Amino acid sequence: MGWKEAAEPVLTRMPAVQRPQKHVPFKRKLAWTAGILVLYFFLTNIALFGLDAQHAEDMFGQFRAVLAGEHGSLLQVGIGPIVTGSIVMQLLGGANLLGLDTNDPRDQVLYQGLQKLLVIVMTALTALPMVFAGGFLPPESMLTLGGFTFDQTQVQMLMFLQIFIGGVLILYMDEVVSKWGIGSGIGLFIIAGVSEMLVRGFFAPSPDGVFYDWYLLVTQQVDIGFYTVLLQQGHVIPLLTTMLIFAIVVYAESVRVEIPLSHSRVKGARGRFPVKLIYASVLPVILVRALQANIQFMGQILHTVGDDTTAAITLFGRELPWLGVYDQGQPVAGFFYYFAPIYSPNDWMWWTGAVTQEAWQVMIRVSVDLTFMVVGGAIFAIFWVETTNMGPDATARQIQNSGMQIPGFRQNVGVVEKVMQRYIPQVTVIGGALVGLLAVWANMLGTVGGVEGTGLLLAVSITYKLYEEIAEEQMMEMHPMMRQMFGKE
């Protein structure tokens, strides 16, 4: 008996959101999407019961724009377990270790069930060290509820249960949007989180707000030089970086190679298959950042469980400074420092005095982050294309099944696949590397609201694609025959 036969009774019984049996009207899809978005914001504002919020430390603080969620709330883990589960499944699927054929309906159910089970396990494994490892989510020492008194261990168990339930909720919220709404839940949650940070960065009535500082500058309520206000407090460079990222991503989304198509049976019916520059979208970058987040997560845990009297990671009573040296919870030397992403200009501008490390150490960190994002973006883009049926072979089959063909070529799957091989693999690698480069560049220059560069890239790209999907849904709604032609019915 193989693993599929042994696991099938469990995987096929995993709770799932039922797919609609017929076409869902556009307004109803919009209502489902809006409802899930409201629920997401509602859950991010429910604080964890029993948390000592004054001493809590957000270990994913720099990755919040990518991992969504909210520190100290029910959605503490955000989409992290979903992304980590996707990484593991893509690696296993890419190495063909699962032996699953995603074109087989039975194997599709097993694949989805296994991924869902893995996400649930990852939710528990992510929440456990947050609650029970020291310092990240400290519980109240004593708690009374309804006449019952809970000690510290019981409060920790209660907090773990809340985080676990929140992680499972966000998993099924994503599934509801994917099946009944527009776009994907993961993309929707990222847009929501990044948009909130951008609005706060523009309109906050504090020195962190762009408009607030410009108001002080115009009304001359600041008694310092124009240059200082304009560049340091006026957020000019972050503002320009944010605008450039918007412009570059929108332009890159419009750059494409269009392969002409014609219908084999309907004379005069023509179309084009677009191979965009960012063919794999920017979602594979989430996988790269999630991998970096997990590496930093491991460093935080090793530092926390070690000897608190030393800044270096200590294992079995032995200091390991080459592995990591921490100061105020942040790596300042060793492996975990060099593999920490660049979050802001203060992480690499050593000549300003903001960085205590030597210039060569900073340059190594920048080089590692740049290489990690560019190479990782290209690799994960390839995995993403292959596992989401966007590769040359899957695309050729989709074109063949729709009755379309490439003018001047025989109507054969193998012939269409060879044409697609000329474009898709190369564009996938170039697009993945380009997105990784843009993410590092945005982080190095800074953005409005302290949004991480990857998060801003994701928000812009996902919003653009969401706009395209809404336009497509409206077109399908106005012309029902097109739903049948494109297999949407």
| pLDDT (0 to 100) of residue 170 | 94
Token pair, residue 53, equals 């919020």
In this prediction, residues 194-202 reach a mean pLDDT of: 82
Q: How confident is the model at residue 1 (pLDDT cuts 50, 70, 90)?
A: low
Provide the residue type at 234 as one letter.
Answer: G
| pLDDT (0 to 100) of residue 121 | 93
Token pair, residue 107, equals 């194997």
**What is the number of helices (H) and of strands (E) in the chain?**
18, 9
| pLDDT (0 to 100) of residue 385 | 86
Distance, CA of 238 to chain centre: 22
Q: For residue 351, is pLDDT > 90?
A: no
Taking CA 423 as the corner, what is the angle to CA 422 and CA 427, rounded to the nearest 5 degrees?
A: 140
| pLDDT (0 to 100) of residue 216 | 65
Q: For residue 307, is pLDDT > 70?
A: no
DSSP state of 229: I
Task: Give me the long-range contacts of 404-410 (CB less than 8 A, separation at least 24).
Answer: 404/261, 404/262, 404/263, 404/264, 404/271, 405/261, 405/262, 405/263, 405/264, 406/259, 406/260, 406/261, 406/262, 407/260, 407/261, 407/262
- Tell me, yes or no, if the pTM score tops 0.85: no
Q: Which residue has the tokens 């993945």?
A: 432
Q: For residue 309, is pLDDT > 70?
A: no
Q: How far apart are CA 461 and CA 465, in angstroms?
A: 6
Q: For residue 229, is pLDDT > 70?
A: no
Q: For residue 115, is pLDDT > 70?
A: yes
| pLDDT (0 to 100) of residue 22 | 83
Q: For residue 49, is pLDDT > 60?
A: yes
| pLDDT (0 to 100) of residue 430 | 92
Q: For residue 137, is pLDDT > 90?
A: no
Q: For residue 224, is pLDDT > 60?
A: no
Q: How far apart are CA 305 and CA 303, in angstroms?
A: 6
Cβ atoms within 10 Å of 308's Cβ, excluding its own: 11
Over residues 268-285, the pLDDT tens digits come to 667 788 888 888 877 788
Helices 424-445 and 359-387 cross at an angle (nearest 10°) of 140
| pLDDT (0 to 100) of residue 85 | 86
Q: For residue 176, is pLDDT > 60?
A: yes
| pLDDT (0 to 100) of residue 129 | 84
Contacts (Cβ under 8 Å, ≥6 apart) of 192:
37, 40, 41, 68
Coil/strand/helix, residue 15: coil
In this prediction, residues 465-483 reach a mean pLDDT of: 73
Cβ atoms within 10 Å of 84's Cβ, excluding its own: 25
Q: How far apart are CA 457 and CA 89, in angstroms?
A: 24
| pLDDT (0 to 100) of residue 262 | 79
Helix (H) or strand (E) holding 274: strand 270-276
